[in-house]
């Protein structure tokens, strides 16, 4: 299976391929081939990489990442009464 987001997730985690290899138990050469699309990943490899990156495996496969943060002030779903007439960012 393809891992279209592996490189991006690894870079956001500020990890080199070598560091991810150490954390996940997946060879650095394998990580390189997965990132460049020269190799497909086994489900066990996906789980190891996800554990090393501390993310859900679905994220590496193109899933959605949910953040455990409070809504940002000004979020459209959390309007205060009378906010409909305000202009700006």
Q: Residue 78: its pLDDT value, please?
A: 47
Report d(CA 55, CA 46) in Å as an integer: 11
Mean pLDDT per 10-residue interval, the chain, length 89 residues:
90 96 97 95 95 92 62 50 51
What's the whole-model pTM score? 0.70
Given a contact cutoff of 8 angstroms between Cβ atoms, the answer to whether 58 and 33 are in contact is no
Domains of the chain: 6-60 (1.10.260.40)
Three-state SS for 24? helix
């Amino acid at each position: 299976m393809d891992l279209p987001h592996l490189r991006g997730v690894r870079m956001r985690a500020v990890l080199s391929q070598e560091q991810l290899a150490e954390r996940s138990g997946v060879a650095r050469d394998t990580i390189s081939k997965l990132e460049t699309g020269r190799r497909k990943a086994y489900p066990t490899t996906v789980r190891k990489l996800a554990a090393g990156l501390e993310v859900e495996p679905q994220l590496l496969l193109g899933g959605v990442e949910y953040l455990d943060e409070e809504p940002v002030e000004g979020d459209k779903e959390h309007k205060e009464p009378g906010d409909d007439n305000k202009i700006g960012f």
